[in-house]
Amino acid sequence: MENQESTSLVDKSWYIIKRRGGMALAVFAPSFLVSLMAFSYVQRPAYLAEAKLKFQRNNTTSTLTGVGTELSKLEPLVQDNRTNPLNTEAEIVTSIPFVKKTINRLNLKNTQGKTLKTKDFLKKLNVREIKGTDVLKISYQDTNPETSAKIVNTLIEIYLEQNVSSLRAEAAAARRFIEKQLPSAELVVLRAEAELARFKEKYKVVNLQEEATKSLEVITELQQQMNAAQSRVADSEAQSQEIRKQLGMNPQQAVMITSLSQTLGVQNILQEIQQLESQLAARRTVLQDTHPQIIDLEEKIASLNQLLQQRVNQVVGTNQSQLNQNIQLGALKQQLSARLLELESIRLGAAKQATTLSNLQIAYKQRLNNLPRLEQQQRQLERKVQAAQVTYSLLLQKLQESRIAENQNVGNASIISLAESPEEPINSPVIPYLSASLLAFILALATVYILEAKDKSIKTIDEARSLLGLTLLGIIPKVNKLRKYADENEGIEYYDQRIIIRDFPRSPISEAYRMLRANLRFMSADKELKVIVVTSSVPQEGKSTVAANLATAIAQKEHKVLLIDADLHRPVQHKLWDINNSQGLSNVIVEQADTTIAIKPVMEHLDVLTSGVVPPNPAALLDSRRMATLIDNFAASYNFVIIDTPALNVAADAATLGQMADGVLLVVRPGVVDSVNAAFARDFLEKSGQNVLGQVVNGVVPQNERYSYYFAEEDYPQESISMRKIKV
Q: Are 504 and 716 in contact (CB under 8 A)?
A: no
Could you tell me whether strands 663-668 and 692-700 are parallel, antiparallel, or unpaired per DSSP bridges? parallel
- Calculate Rg over the CA atoms of the chain: 68
Q: What is the pLDDT of residues 623-635, one digit of tens each?
A: 899 999 999 999 9
CA distances from 273 to 279, 299, 307, 370 (A): 10, 11, 10, 69
Q: What is the pLDDT of residues 64-78, one digit of tens each?
A: 444 445 555 555 544
Q: What are the beta bridge partners of residue 563?
A: 608, 642
Q: What is the pLDDT of residues 403-459, one digit of tens each?
A: 877 776 556 788 888 888 887 776 656 666 677 777 777 877 777 777 666 666 676
Percent above pLDDT 90 for the chain: 13
**pLDDT score recorded for residue 365:** 76
Spans of all domains in the chain? 260-324, 461-715
Question: What gap in Å lies between CA 80 and CA 68, rounded to an integer?
Answer: 25
Question: What gap in Å lies between CA 398 and CA 405, rounded to an integer?
Answer: 10
Burial of 509 (0-12, 13-18, 19+ CB in 10 A): buried
SS3 for 701?
Answer: coil
The residue-averaged pLDDT of 660-665 equals 91
Q: What is the mean pLDDT of the chain?
A: 77
Could you tell me whether strands 640-644 and 663-668 are parallel, antiparallel, or unpaired per DSSP bridges? unpaired
Q: Compare 139 and 55 and report the one with higher pLDDT.
A: 139
Q: Which sign, positive or negative, has the C-alpha torsion 504, 509, 515, 520? A: negative
Question: What gap in Å lies between CA 532 and CA 342, rounded to an integer?
Answer: 151
**pLDDT score recorded for residue 320:** 46
CA distances from 342 to 243, 336, 346, 350 (A): 11, 10, 6, 12
Q: What is the pLDDT of residues 180-216, one digit of tens each?
A: 888 888 898 888 888 888 877 877 777 767 777 777 7
Q: Compare 709 and 678 and report the one with higher pLDDT.
A: 678
Question: What gap in Å lies between CA 556 and CA 606, rounded to an integer?
Answer: 9
Burial of 535 (0-12, 13-18, 19+ CB in 10 A): buried
Burial of 130 (0-12, 13-18, 19+ CB in 10 A): exposed
**pLDDT score recorded for residue 237:** 79
**pLDDT score recorded for residue 561:** 95
Q: Are 151 and 102 in contact (CB under 8 A)?
A: yes
Q: Are 656 and 619 in contact (CB under 8 A)?
A: yes
Q: What is the DSSP letter of 711?
A: -
Q: Is the domain 461-715 a CATH 3.40.50.300 member?
A: yes
> Alpha helix locations (H) across 593-659?
595-598, 618-622, 625-637, 653-658
Q: What is the pLDDT of residues 693-709, one digit of tens each?
A: 899 998 887 766 665 54
Q: What is the pLDDT of residues 312-359, one digit of tens each?
A: 776 666 554 444 445 555 556 666 767 777 777 787 888 888 888 888
CA distances from 249 to 252, 315, 646 (A): 8, 18, 157
Q: What is the pLDDT of residues 587-646, one digit of tens each?
A: 999 988 898 899 999 999 999 999 998 888 888 888 899 999 999 999 999 999 999 999
**pLDDT score recorded for residue 129:** 86
**pLDDT score recorded for residue 637:** 93
Q: Are 86 and 129 in contact (CB under 8 A)?
A: yes
SS3 for 668?
Answer: strand
CB atoms within 10 A of CB 424: 9
Percent above pLDDT 70 for the chain: 75
SS3 for 578?
Answer: coil
Q: Which sign, positive or negative, has the C-alpha torsion 354, 360, 363, 368? A: negative
pTM for this prediction: 0.45
Q: What is the pLDDT of residues 111-162, one digit of tens each?
A: 788 888 888 888 888 888 888 888 888 898 888 888 888 888 998 888 888 8
Question: What gap in Å lies between CA 480 and CA 497, rounded to an integer?
Answer: 10
Q: Compare 143 and 716 and report the one with higher pLDDT.
A: 143
